[in-house]
C-alpha cells in the first residue's frame, strides 16, 4: 500500500496531540511505525517522537518578538515561513515512502490558523497532490452532548471538507468519558436529533437553545447536513485507553481507496483545467504580442502543418507562473529553435551575439507598422476633406 497521509485537525482542547500520541503508539505496536510531523510551533512539548518538527526551523517566540505579533499572528507567520520550504519537506517524506505506510501530521490547536490560512492550504495541497491524504477531524465528545454544540462542530467539519476537498473522518475522541453512540444516532436518524433538540429546549429553556429562532435554525441545519453525513466516516475512539483505533485505521484505508477512485481523479481534472486555462492565456498573450509587432500575418500558414518552419514559438521572456524562466530541453545537443512568421529560419537560441540583430528586426517591424498606420491615417483625412 502506498504511503498515506493523515492530517489531524480539531478545535482547541479536543485532544489532537493525545490522539497523535496514541495513534503513534498503536501503529508502533503493530510494527508499522508512522512518519510523524508536528506543525504546531507554539507547543512546548510533544509526547511523541517526530521526524519533522516545525520548531526545529521556526522559533515561535522570536517570530512574536521580531514581527511584533500576538499568539495567533505568530502561529500564522510561523506556518507561512515553514510553507516556503514545503517542497523540501515533501521530498524528505517521498524518500521514506518505501519504509512507512502512514504519515501523521499534528496541526496547531488554533484551528483557524491552519485551515483558513494560505500556508495551511499550501501545506495541505502539497501533501494531497503527492500522497493519498485524509483529514481526521477530532471532536471532543463530552462537550458535544448539547445539540447546539454538536451542530456547530458539524458545520465546521462541513466547511473544512469543502475547503480541502479531501476525504474526511470525524473522530469522536474521549469515549472513555462519554460514549459517542448518541452522535452516531444523531448523524443517521434525523428524528432522533429533532427529539434531542426539543428535549434540550424543554429542559434548559432560554438557557439551552437561546430562542425559538435558534431552535428553528438548528433543525434546518440538520436537514441540510443529511447529505454531508453520507460523505463521512464516523469513528469513536479513546486516546486514554486506545479503544477504537483499529476502527480508525480501517476507516483510513477505506478513505485512501476513496481518494484514489474519486478525489484523485477530480483533483487531476481541476489541475488539467487550470493548465488549459493558462495555456490559452499564454497563446492569447503571444498573439497580442505578435500583432503589436506586426508579425501575426504568418500564423495562418501553420494551420494543418505542425512541422512548418513558420510555426510560432513562445519566447523565453514570456510572462507566466515561472516568472519568465523557461527551462531548456534536457536532451544534450538539442538547440532551441526560434522562428518568426515572415522571416527566414533562425537556428540556435537568442544570446548576446545575436540580440542586436533581433532588436534590429523588432525595430524595423515597429517602424513599418508605424509607417503603414500613418499612411492610412493620412488617406482617411484626405478622403474626409474631399467629402
Cα 385 to chain center, whole Å?
63
Confidence at residue 378, expressed as pLDDT on a 0 to 100 scale: 58
Confidence at residue 178, expressed as pLDDT on a 0 to 100 scale: 93
Instruction: Report the alpha-carbon distance of residue 8 to residue 229 in Å, rounded.
Output: 19
Confidence at residue 101, expressed as pLDDT on a 0 to 100 scale: 92
Residue-wise pLDDT for 179-192, tens only, equals 999 999 988 888 88
> With pLDDT > 90 as the criterion, what percentage of the chain qualifies?
39
Smallest CA-to-CA distance from 104 within 240, 8, 243, 2 is with 8
Instruction: Report the alpha-carbon distance of residue 236 to residue 139 in Å, rounded.
Output: 9
Parent domain of 128: 4-208+231-259
Cα 171 to chain center, whole Å?
22
Q: In sequence order, what are the residues at sequence separation of 6 or more whose Cβ sits closer than 8 angstroms to the Cβ of residue 47? A: 17, 18, 21
Residue 304 has pLDDT above 60, yes or no: no
Q: Band of the pLDDT at 332, cuts 50, 70, 90?
A: very low
Residue, of 275 and 172, whose pLDDT is higher: 172
Quote the number of domains for the chain: 1
Instruction: Report the alpha-carbon distance of residue 162 to residue 150 in Å, rounded.
Output: 19
Instruction: For residue 47, tell me if it sits in a domain.
Output: yes
Cα 195 to chain center, whole Å?
39
Instruction: For residue 334, tell me if it sits in a domain.
Output: no
The arithmetic mean of pLDDT across residues 229-240, rounded, is 89
Instruction: For residue 302, tell me if it sits in a domain.
Output: no
Instruction: For residue 182, tell me if it sits in a domain.
Output: yes
Smallest CA-to-CA distance from 1 within 254, 241, 208 is with 254
Residue 158's domain is classified under what CATH number?
3.40.50.300
Residue, of 34 and 268, whose pLDDT is higher: 34
Tracing cell 498606420 back to the chain, one arrives at: 373
Least confident of 96-100, 144-148, 213-217: 213-217
Instruction: For residue 178, tell me if it sits in a domain.
Output: yes
Instruction: For residue 383, tell me if it sits in a domain.
Output: no
Residue 341 has pLDDT above 50, yes or no: no
- Do residues 59 and 96 lie in contact, with contact meaning Cβ atoms separated by under 8 Å? no
Instruction: Report the alpha-carbon distance of residue 387 to residue 381 in Å, rounded.
Output: 10
Residue 320 has pLDDT above 80, yes or no: no
Instruction: For residue 305, tell me if it sits in a domain.
Output: no
Facing residues of 140 across strands? 173
Least confident of 225-234, 311-320, 368-377: 311-320
- Residues for the chain: how many in total? 387
Q: Band of the pLDDT at 258, cuts 50, 70, 90?
A: confident
Instruction: Report the alpha-carbon distance of residue 33 to residue 191 in Å, rounded.
Output: 43
Smallest CA-to-CA distance from 178 within 145, 147, 146, 203 is with 145
The arithmetic mean of pLDDT across residues 151-169, rounded, is 89
Q: Band of the pLDDT at 344, cuts 50, 70, 90?
A: very low
Residue 3 has pLDDT above 70, yes or no: yes
Measured distance between the N- and C-terminal CA atoms of the chain, rounded to whole angstroms: 83
Instruction: Report the alpha-carbon distance of residue 52 to residue 46 in Å, rounded.
Output: 12
Instruction: Tell me the average pLDDT of the chain.
Output: 78
Instruction: Report the alpha-carbon distance of residue 44 to residue 185 in Å, rounded.
Output: 38
Least confident of 196-200, 201-205, 237-241: 201-205
Instruction: For residue 52, tell me if it sits in a domain.
Output: yes
Q: In sequence order, what are the residues at sequence separation of 6 or more whose Cβ sits closer than 8 angstroms to the Cβ of residue 160? A: 9, 115, 135, 137, 168
Cell of 241: 485507553
Smallest CA-to-CA distance from 111 within 141, 132, 145, 138 is with 138
Residue 346 has pLDDT above 80, yes or no: no
Amino acid at each position: 500500500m502506498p504511503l498515506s497521509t493523515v492530517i489531524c485537525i480539531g478545535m482547541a482542547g479536543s485532544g489532537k496531540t493525545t490522539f497523535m500520541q496514541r495513534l503513534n503508539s498503536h501503529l508502533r505496536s503493530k510494527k508499522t511505525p508512522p512518519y510523524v510531523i508536528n506543525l504546531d510551533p507554539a507547543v512546548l512539548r510533544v509526547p511523541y517522537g517526530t521526524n519533522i518538527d516545525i520548531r526545529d526551523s521556526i522559533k515561535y517566540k522570536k517570530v512574536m518578538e521580531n514581527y511584533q505579533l500576538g499568539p495567533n499572528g505568530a502561529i500564522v507567520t510561523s506556518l507561512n515561513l515553514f510553507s516556503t520550504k514545503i517542497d523540501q519537506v515533501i521530498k524528505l517524506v517521498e524518500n521514506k515512502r518505501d519504509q512507512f505506510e502512514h504519515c501523521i501530521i499534528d496541526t496547531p490547536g488554533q484551528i483557524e490558523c491552519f485551515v483558513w490560512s494560505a500556508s495551511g492550504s499550501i501545506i495541505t495541497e502539497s501533501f494531497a497532490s503527492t500522497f493519498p491524504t485524509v483529514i481526521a477531524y477530532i471532536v471532543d465528545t463530552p462537550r458535544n452532548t448539547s445539540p447546539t454544540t454538536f451542530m456547530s462542530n458539524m458545520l465546521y467539519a462541513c466547511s473544512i471538507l469543502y475547503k480541502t476537498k479531501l476525504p474526511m473522518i470525524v473522530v469522536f475522541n474521549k469515549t472513555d468519558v462519554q460514549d459517542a453512540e448518541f452522535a452516531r444516532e444523531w448523524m443517521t436518524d434525523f428524528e432522533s436529533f429533532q427529539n434531542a433538540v426539543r428535549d434540550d429546549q424543554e429542559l434548559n429553556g432560554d438557557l439551552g437553545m437561546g430562542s425559538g429562532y435558534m431552535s428553528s435554525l438548528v433543525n434546518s441545519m440538520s436537514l441540510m447536513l443529511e447529505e454531508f453525513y453520507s460523505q463521512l466516516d464516523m469513528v469513536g475512539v479513546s486516546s486514554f485507553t486506545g479503544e477504537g483505533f483499529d476502527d480508525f485505521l480501517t476507516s483510513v484505508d477505506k478513505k485512501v481507496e476513496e481518494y484514489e477512485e474519486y478525489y484523485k481523479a477530480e483533483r487531476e481534472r481541476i489541475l488539467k483545467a487550470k493548465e488549459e486555462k493558462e495555456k490559452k492565456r499564454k497563446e492569447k498573450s503571444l498573439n497580442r504580442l505578435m500583432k503589436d509587432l506586426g508579425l501575426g500575418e504568418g500564423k495562418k500558414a501553420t494551420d494543418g502543418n505542425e512541422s512548418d518552419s513558420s510555426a510560432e514559438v513562445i519566447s523565453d521572456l514570456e510572462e507566466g507562473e515561472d516568472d519568465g524562466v523557461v527551462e531548456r530541453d534536457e536532451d544534450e545537443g538539442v538547440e532551441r529553435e526560434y522562428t518568426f512568421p515572415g522571416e527566414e529560419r533562425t537556428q540556435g537560441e537568442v544570446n548576446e551575439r545575436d540580440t542586436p540583430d533581433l532588436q534590429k528586426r523588432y525595430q524595423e517591424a515597429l517602424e513599418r507598422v508605424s509607417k503603414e498606420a500613418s499612411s492610412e491615417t493620412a488617406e482617411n483625412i484626405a478622403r474626409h476633406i474631399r467629402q
